[in-house]
A and B are shown apart, each in its own frame.
Chain A
Amino acid sequence: MANDSLLDRSRTVAGPGYNRWLVPPAALAIHLAIGQAYAFSVFNKPLGSLISGDQDHPAPGDWTLSQIGITFSIAIVLLGLSAALFGKWLERVGPRKAMLASSLCFGGGFLIASLGVSMHNIWLVYFGYGFVGGIGLGIGYISPVSTLIKWFPDRKGVATGMAIMGFGGGAMIGSPLASNLMAHFKDSAPQGVAPTFIVMGIIYLLFMQFGVWTIRVPADDWKPEGYVPNEEHSALVTTGNVSADNAIKTPQFWLLWVVLLTNVTAGIGVLETASPLIQDTFSDKYMGAGRGVTAAAAAGFVGLLSLFNLLGRFFWSSASDKIGRKPTYLLYFGLGAVLYALIPTLGHNLQLTLYVIVACLIISMYGGGFATAPAYLSDLFGKYQVGAIHGRLLTAWSTAAILGHLIVSTLSEHSKAQGLTGAAAYQSVFYTMAGVLVVGFLADLAVTAVNEKYYEKGPVTIEAGGH
C-alpha cells in the first residue's frame, strides 16, 4: 500500500542537506501533546460532578476522586509497559510509524473516553484514556529518542533534553486548554467534559502529525560535519553496541533502573503534596492572621514547580554533555538529599522564600533526571537499540509512580493521625525521600563501563535492531 511505504523507515532517511534542527521540533510535537497526561487532574472535579452539575456538591452516583484518579494511574502504568514492549518494534519500523501509532492511540483514547463520559461509564474512560491513551504515551515518549541521539551524537543531552522538556511543557498547555474548552462547552454537556475530550483528541491527533511527517532519520553513515568522537571524554562512553535483550542482563541497566526509580519516587514526594504542603506549613496559624499561603498562592507554587520541572529537563540534560552523565546524577542525588533534608527545617523556621527556592531546585533536578537518562543509556550501551533500552528503563517510572504515592500518603497520613501539624506533618516524608536519594546516589556511584562480552559482534544495522 502507498501509505505503508510512506511510513517505512527507508522513506524517512534524510538526504544530503537536511537540517538536523528540524528533528527536535518534530520530537517536541509528540512530547508536547502526550505531556498533557500530567494535566489530567484538571478533569478531576468536572468528572466528579457530571450528575450533580455542582463541583462542590457531588451527587450519590457521581464518580469519586479515587475512581477518577485510577485513570491517570492506568495511563502511567501503560506508559511504562508499552514503552518496554514496543521499544524493539520502534527500532525496527522507525520513528514515523511509531509516532503515527502514538498519535492514533493518544487521540483515539480521548475519543473513547468521551464516549465513556457521555454514557457515564467509567470503565470506558479507563479503557480509552488510561489503556489506549497510555499505550500512546509509552510509544510516543520513546519514539524520537534514539533518532535524536543519532542526529546529535555531539550533543546528546541537549537533544534529548529538548524533547523531554516538551513532556513537562505539555501539561502547561493541556491544563489551560482543557479549562477553556470546558468553560466553552459547559452549557452543551455536563461540565463540558465530553465535547472537550473530543476536541482535545482531534487537536492532539492533528498536532502530532507535524512530528510524524517532519521526522527524518540520518543515513547510517551520517555524522555531523567535523564531528570526531571524543573517546577520552569518559571511560563510561562505549564504543560498542549492546542490544536491548543483552542490556537487561547487565548490572548497569539495573543500576540505572534504580537511579530513575529513586529520582522519580523522591520527586513525586514534592509534586504530589505541593499544594497542601505549602498551605499547611505556612498557614495563618504559623505566619499570623492573613499572612498565610492561600489556595491561590499554593496553585502558584505548583505552577512554579512545573516551570522548574520543564527548565531542569533542558538545563541539567545539556549540562550533562559537559560534565558527564554519572557526575550529573551524583549531583542530583548528593545535593538533592541535602536539600530534601533541609526542607523541614526551612518550614519550621517559616523561611518561605528559601523554602520555595529549594523546592524549585529539587524539582529542576527531578526533571533533569528524566531528560538525562536516554543520553546516559546511549553512553553505556551505544545507539544501536537505545530507544528500546530506554523503553525498558521506563518501567522504573511506572513503579515509582506507585511507590512514591504510597510513601507520601502513608507517612503524611500517619503523621497527621499523630496530631502533627505544619511542617512537622511532612518531615517524615522528606527525611525518607532524602534516604531514597542516598540509595540512588550509591546506585549511580556503582555504575561502571559495560563489559565488552555484551557488545554486538561485528557490524550492526538499524534494520537488524528490531529482530
Chain B
Amino acid sequence: MSTPTSSSTAATPTPSSGGSAVLAWLFVGIPLLWGVSQTFIKALALFQ
C-alpha cells in the first residue's frame, strides 16, 4: 500500500559488499559468543 515518498528520492547510493556484512556480524558476534561461552562454562557445573 505504500508509495514512494520524498525519503526515497533522497536516498544516496550505499553499495555494500558481502565483506562489510561479515565484518558487521563479527562486531556483534564476537561479544555474543564470548557471553554464550561464559554461560556455557557456568552451565557445565550442573552436569558435574
Q: Which residues of A contact B (CB under 8 A)?
A: 9-11, 13-19, 21-22, 25-26, 28-29, 32, 166, 169-176, 207, 210, 214, 216-217, 219-222, 239-241, 293-294, 296-301, 303-304, 306-307, 310, 356, 382, 384, 456, 459-463
Known contacts A210-B27, A356-B46; is A220 also within 8 Å of B3 by CB? yes
Known: A10-B6, A32-B28. A176 touches B14 (CB 8 A): no
Contacts of B21 in A (CB 8 A): 19, 21-22, 25
Whether B20 pairs with A300 at a CB distance below 8 angstroms is no
Q: How far is the CA of A16 from the CA of B45 in the complex (A)?
A: 50
Additional 16 contacts, C-beta under 8 A, given A214-B24, A216-B14: A13-B10, A15-B14, A16-B13, A16-B15, A19-B16, A21-B25, A25-B21, A25-B25, A210-B24, A300-B45, A303-B42, A304-B43, A382-B1, A461-B2, A462-B7, A463-B5
Q: Is B10 a contact partner of A461 (Cβ separation < 8 A)?
A: no
21 contacts between A and B (CB under 8 A): A9-B7, A15-B14, A19-B18, A22-B21, A26-B24, A32-B28, A32-B31, A172-B32, A172-B35, A173-B31, A210-B28, A219-B4, A219-B11, A220-B2, A220-B3, A220-B5, A220-B7, A239-B1, A304-B43, A456-B1, A460-B1
Size range of the chain B interface in the assembly:
35 or more
In the assembled complex, the CB of B20 is this many whole angstroms from the nearest CB of chain A, namely 7
Contact B45 A297 (CB under 8 A): yes
| Closest 10 A/B residue pairs (Cβ) | A172-B35, A300-B46, A17-B15, A300-B45, A173-B35, A15-B13, A219-B8, A25-B24, A10-B10, A303-B43
Task: Take A173-B32, A173-B35 as given contacts and tell me if A25 and B11 are in contact as well, using a CB distance cutoff of 8 Å.
Answer: no
- The reply to whether A172 and B5 form a contact with Cβ atoms under 8 Å apart is no
* Distance of A414 from chain B, by nearest CB (Å): 29
Which residue of B5, B34, B36 is within 8 Å of A462 (Cβ)?
B5
Q: How far, in angstroms, from A166 to B35 measured CA to CA in the complex?
A: 11
Which B residues are in CB contact (< 8 Å) with A173? Answer: 31-32, 34-35
B24 / chain A contacts, CB cutoff of 8 Å? 22, 25-26, 210, 214
